Amino acid sequence: MASFGHIAVGLALGRLGGRAASPRKQAALMVALAALAMLPDADVVAFKLGIPYAAEWGHRGASHSLVLAVLVSLVVAVGTRVARGPAGEAGLLAFVAVGSHGLLDAMTTGGLGAALLWPFTTARYFLPLRPIPVAPIGAGMISARGVYVVVVELLLFLPFWGYALWPRRQTVSTAEELRPRGCPGSSRSR
């Protein structure tokens, strides 16, 4: 994938998970989950290290496994718990963000598949439904094929982009809602 789909999924998860948060906190959550959704592709450094694509630690290998998604979600949940936040929700959102990456890559039309079940097996998998064109790697993205992949990916993930980026309805608080509890003249003094 050209990564636009992964980013869209992360942004949409952040919008969903941060729906009760302030716009600023929601935006931060959206960026964090988009980054987590991209995390498995950090394995592209394997190319620079001379690790073959088909190797266990190659592109779409171990970093694309659901086990990695579980480990990342546990780290996020513990970190959120330490910060006195909603650990369960944070862990679940992190799992979906990271775990979706390998599943989406398994829906592409090329490559070697994704090692979804590593370390239990080094086999790589494709899903039966494969509507996402495989993206050229590196400078190959700057080509007619690269443009085609980006356009198709943007269109396929348009619902995620729309949900994530559609303007939020701003609620206007009344003076009564803004008055602190216990303030004289407030019906909220109880």
Domain segments of the chain as ranges: 4-178
* Each residue's pLDDT tens digit, 59-100: 999 999 999 999 999 999 999 999 999 999 999 999 999 999
Task: For residue 143, name the pLDDT band (cuts at 50, 70, 90).
Answer: very high
pLDDT, mean over the chain: 91
Q: What percent of the chain has pLDDT over 90?
A: 80
DSSP one-letter code for 190: -
Asked if residue 85 lies in contact with residue 76, where contact means CB atoms within 8 angstroms, the answer is no
What is the crossing angle of helices 4-17 and 144-156, to 10°? 20
pLDDT at residue 137, as a whole number: 82
> Measuring CA to CA, which residue among 28, 30, 36, 39 is closest to residue 12?
30
**Joined tokens for residue 145:** 């094929």
Task: Answer whether residue 189 shows pLDDT above 60.
Answer: no
Distances (CA, A) of 21 to 16, 18, 26, 28, 113: 10, 5, 6, 10, 37
Task: For residue 186, name the pLDDT band (cuts at 50, 70, 90).
Answer: low
* Each residue's pLDDT tens digit, 169-181: 766 556 656 666 6
pLDDT at residue 168, as a whole number: 79
**Angle at the Cα of 189 from the Cα atoms of 186 and 190, rounded to 5 degrees:** 145
What is the rounded average pLDDT of the residues 125-135? 96
